[in-house]
Structure 1
């Protein structure tokens, strides 16, 4: 892997790295709030990937030139999808945090291993 390859693909490498960090957080931490943070990190990495895919070197906003000169335009679809994705991500985060509040009210903890232990004790009683 050469330095030039890394520089040209830094957005894709960074996006992959962020996704792995988020996945690691979700899989290894028993705290439910940390799991929500991990999901947010993974969502952010997907947003970075889509924005990187839509980027065109030397491109400009897709507004027609009235003087008739040809121009290279940036695809506006990834940006529109990202705006929608951000709204969905915030909604998922809010819903997840509200469910964590309900879980805390029911079990008195937000640690997943403690919740599973409480549930298994309730099942044996």
Structure 2
């Protein structure tokens, strides 16, 4: 069964496998390499959208640490808290709840059989 991240409304034209389903850690992030950059995958089973893909680079510090951030819910949104400055990024669309000047890129992501795939538009 294939599950696509409903939060991304842009349709991917090409999908690329980036890791195995067994590489995911529930309620946490893992980092993969995709198109020359680090992408943080967050697996949240039990939610309507269980898988999210966002840029691993923290726009405030420039460090590749988002995949190590804590996930939770804030103001009705699933978020990841950046480890260094603790700003909260919405997993659905990448926006920063505290500072509209900051945002993370997001990618279409899906589970396809035993593979996790990221989409290119």
Higher helix share: 1
Larger radius of gyration: 1
TM exceeds 0.5? no
TM-score category, normalised to shorter length: under 0.3
Q: Which has the higher contact order (CA 8 A, sep 6+)?
A: 2
Instruction: Give the TM-score of the pair, scaled to structure 2.
Output: 0.23
Higher strand share: 2
Instruction: Give the TM-score of the pair, scaled to structure 1.
Output: 0.23
